[in-house]
A and B are shown apart, each in its own frame.
Chain A
């Protein structure tokens, strides 16, 4: 094995690698993958309605992965993680509908009334499509 042979081999590998990278990022990805919107835009109005820190409950119309056998890449999990990212340092307690304040983060905005009724919550404010602040209804 000579230095020249190694240099040639690395140069070929590098050329192939660069071509692969260029094709993936500049040809394939623009065709098959959408541009992501900044996460914060969806949650800006909601954030303004919430305390800056502490804990709030979190409900959704989609399940969030809280166990190993659940899909960590699901839409429900992504919605929760996006909300947690946007609203930090507020801690979102998943599936806790008894907290003094609860946020709803829904994939289907039409289900807000149904979710609120099922979980014994009343809507305090709507902060955009599928987003709302709720609180537990007073016990009878």
Chain B
């Protein structure tokens, strides 16, 4: 009964949000959005209720979520569909290729999961550790944020993913290993599906298929998906936000983009940076304070949760807690450190094991082509995010090569689906006149 109620809470809250804020005829896209946003609603509501009222109010929370979602669905019944650009279908061989890529990625996900049954290093050090604390500790759940834990447990991280896994454990009544594995697989599927559907919605089927292929055939993608960490979920929420800001603009799309960016912030600290970059890019490119305000309003519930958690529960992040004014100034003035960052980044671009030729191709397209195009909100936001990482890497207190080696690929995969959308939109725009000429 509790599991059914939880499923209703996820499905109805997601579907209700999508119905109100993203009315469309594209049912596949709506369904994928509803799953992603419903999971986010379910986990963030769990966190809010847990921090405010303790662990006893989960069922009431699920009833409330399901009821709100049902009301939203009723309210949205007469909503007009969003504008949809004329679709350009992809050739069948391209869809077949995408299907093969998805099958291969799933096989690699399974292989990696069998090899690492507890997930990647950060899964047991941070994310599933947090889930176990939340599921096992009952009223003592605040032990998850104890300052006596090793700093490597990152007690300050927000907990959208652990909230999902912990609730799965509680509903199942046992810590079944398939629960975090299934959630990790689901977010992997959402990353590929939403890249495909959102690009199809924005520019047509061929661009959707190319986008999905660009994510599914990234060598490190199945690895990161199977690691049971928060990077792929964050990539999903950033992707939704970026794509909505690239599409037909309305108050509703801005609200939903802000909400998804807020879910990204509640998934991982980097998500707060991405949300800020999206708002800054919106202001920079469009000089529209109202648009920024609607975006911020959408993000507000999650921003409140994030700030409340940071101020009231979480210890300071290790990047701040372990820094001193002297270390920050010394690192800022250390030219070798800046040079080392450039070298590490150049080497990463040609890191074939994780990226094959994708990262090199992306850099070439950006330098040779996209740079000459008019700026867009998604492109500018991603550029700001990448640029912001330079001082973050240089000024942070850890050894630069160590933290770069352990984080750069994860940041890459967080940004990759959104970067694919932003890049393919540039390319689609550039080829549109040629198509028109050819057809006339």
Contact with A along B81-118 (1 / 0, CB 8 A): 00000000000001001001100110110011011111
CA distance A64 to B361 in the complex (A): 41
In contact, A38 and B118 (Cβ under 8 angstroms): yes
Residue ID in chain A nearest B397 by CB atoms: A68
Interface of B is mostly: helix
**Which residues of A line the B interface, CB within 8 A?**
1-3, 6-7, 9-11, 13-18, 20-22, 24-26, 29, 33, 35-39, 52-53, 55, 64-66, 68-69, 72, 77, 80-82, 84-85, 88-89, 91-94
In contact, A53 and B213 (Cβ under 8 angstroms): no
Residue ID in chain A nearest B430 by CB atoms: A1
23 contacts between A and B (CB under 8 A): A7-B94, A10-B213, A11-B97, A13-B214, A14-B101, A16-B357, A18-B100, A20-B352, A21-B108, A21-B219, A25-B108, A25-B111, A25-B222, A26-B111, A36-B117, A39-B124, A64-B150, A68-B397, A80-B150, A84-B153, A89-B133, A89-B136, A93-B148
3 closest Cβ pairs, A-B complex: A14-B217, A89-B137, A17-B217
CB neighbours of A94 from chain B (8 A): 150
Closest Cβ of chain A to B215, distance in Å, is: 10
CB neighbours of B260 from chain A (8 A): none
In contact, A10 and B356 (Cβ under 8 angstroms): no
Which candidate, B139-147, B181-189, B383-391, is the interface stretch facing chain A? Answer: B139-147
CA distance A24 to B111 in the complex (A): 11
CA distance A1 to B431 in the complex (A): 7
CB neighbours of B148 from chain A (8 A): 55, 91, 93
In contact, B150 and A89 (Cβ under 8 angstroms): no
Residue ID in chain B nearest A39 by CB atoms: B118
Residue ID in chain A nearest B109 by CB atoms: A25
Closest Cβ of chain A to B76, distance in Å, is: 35
Closest Cβ of chain A to B366, distance in Å, is: 14
Q: Quick check: is B336 within 8 A (CB to CB) of the other chain?
A: no
In contact, A3 and B431 (Cβ under 8 angstroms): yes
CB neighbours of B210 from chain A (8 A): 6-7, 10
CB neighbours of B117 from chain A (8 A): 36-38
Contact with A along B198-235 (1 / 0, CB 8 A): 00000000100010011011110011000000000000
Q: Quick check: is B300 within 8 A (CB to CB) of the other chain?
A: no
Residue ID in chain B nearest A52 by CB atoms: B136
Residue ID in chain A nearest B432 by CB atoms: A3
Closest Cβ of chain A to B224, distance in Å, is: 12
Q: With A17-B217, A24-B219, A89-B140 as given contacts, are A72 and B132 in contact (CB-CB < 8 Å)?
A: no
Q: Quick check: is B371 within 8 A (CB to CB) of the other chain?
A: no
